[in-house]
Every structure is written in C-alpha cells, then in structure tokens.
Chains A and B, each alone.
Chain A
Amino acid sequence: GAGVSQSPSNKVTEKGKDVELRCDPISGHTALYWYRQSLGQGLEFLIYFQGNSAPDKSGLPSDRFSAERTGGSVSTLTIQRTQQEDSAVYLCASSLGSLAASETQYFGPGTRLLVL
C-alpha cells in the first residue's frame, strides 16, 4: 500500500522567502508528526497532530514555523521568512494514533530544504 509521501523532495529558496512543505500520511492514520534533521544532528521534534485534538506545538523553534492539518489528513508545514539555519531535511511521519496500540511510526522520504 501507499506509504507516507512528502513534497517537494528538494526545495531551494532564498533567505527571507516563505516555503510550504507537504505531507500525505498513510490513509487511516490519525497521528502525524513533523521532525527536522539537520546535517550531523538527530531528529528534532517539531509538531504532533493527533485526531481532532489541539496539536502539540512545543517543538516549533520560532513563530516563523507553523503547521496545519486539513480534514485530519494532509499536513502543511510553513516556514516564513526563511533563514539559512532552517536548512535541513524535514521529515513527516504518521501512525495509527490509538492509545491502545503500539505507536510504530512510518516515515516519509523527507523534504531537503536549502536556504541560500
């Protein structure tokens, strides 16, 4: 079946521009996560959506970062006024999201963002 997809796969932008990154989770998965992986660094948690609950935004590094999830499916991560330090691979993951179930996450291929 279809896995998690992300688009674009690569994005080059100029400092100060806004970018939107898209994530299509696995159908039926109610939990969706965004992570950032910088060169040589681990996975940095950004934001977590679970069903209709208010998202956990505790990992967003600044108010330039925002994310939304429409209809409980597709999610968009927006970075406003991009800075060079925003350059990283942005990973999306989804999971079934049931408290009674083990939470195996399924990751997308990522979007590689380069801010010049």
Chain B
Amino acid sequence: AQSVAQPEDQVNVAEGNPLTVKCTYSVSGNPYLFWYVQYPNRGLQFLLKYITGDNLVKGSYGFEAEFNKSQTSFHLKKPSALVSDSALYFCAVRDGGRDDKIIFGKGTRLHILP
C-alpha cells in the first residue's frame, strides 16, 4: 500500500524568501505525485503533478516541485514567497499503473510573514 509523509506541520517563511514544503512517499510501483492547496474557507485546488518525464515540475501560482526517486521525495518549492501563499498544502500519491486510491499526507500549514 502506498503512503505519503509531510514531516512538517507548519512552515514559516518571510515574504520574498524561497520556500520549501517537504514530502516523501512510498509506493510499490511507479509513483504519481500531486500537490494540492487549501486556502482558508475554500476547497482543495490542484497545484501540480508528476507522472513521468522531467523531474522538475512547474505548476500554478509559480510553484514547482522536484521528483527525487532515490530519496523518494517530492518537495514543493517557490523561489519567492508571497503573503497570499499562506495556506494548507497537501502532498498526495497514487501507485501508477494500478487502479488504486490516492492517499494524502496530513498537510503542512505555510505561513508567509510580511
């Protein structure tokens, strides 16, 4: 069975600084990896995904994530944080090639300090 871990409950970053939100995963096959964001009082929104190809994936709102197979990681990054990036971020994984469910991490709350 697949699993995903987000080791940080909360990340604080000053506005304008680069940010990283960490995610590690475990699957038996090839991973499909996703990042979703949940803004206050709003539903979950898709940010980006890795299925195959380039390890660096670019997504919405200037976010990107790097797939690292040897470290089984898929960290979310942004070069310059905005206060409006403050939200709850979820990493998710699916075992590619299998008709299987998608599992979410517990989420990381990102605070961007003005």
Contacts and interface: CB of A to CB of B under 8 A. Distances in A.
Contacts of B90: 42-43
B101 A110 contact: no
Given A42-B90, A102-B49, A107 B102 contact: no
A29 B43 CA distance: 18
Contact of B97 (A59, A99, A107): A99
Contacts of B103: 45
Contacts of B46: 104-106
Interface in A91-116: 91, 93, 99, 102-110
B58 to A, nearest CB: 15
A48 interface: yes
Given A42-B90, A102-B49, A103-B32, A33 B102 contact: yes
Interface residues of A, number: 24
A102 B102 CA distance: 11
A104 B49 contact: yes
Contact of B99 (A42, A45, A53, A107): A53
A48 B107 contact: no
B99 A105 contact: no
B18 to A, nearest CB: 25
A33 B99 CA distance: 13
A65 interface: no
A50 interface: yes
10 contacts: A33-B102, A42-B105, A42-B107, A43-B44, A56-B101, A59-B101, A91-B44, A102-B51, A103-B32, A105-B34
Interface of B: 6, 32, 34, 36, 43-46, 49, 51, 90, 92, 94, 97-107
Given A53-B99, A58-B101, 5 more contacts: A41-B107, A45-B103, A56-B100, A105-B34, A109-B43
By Cβ-Cβ distance, the 8 closest A-B pairs, closest first, are A42-B106, A43-B104, A48-B101, A107-B44, A42-B107, A102-B51, A107-B43, A109-B43
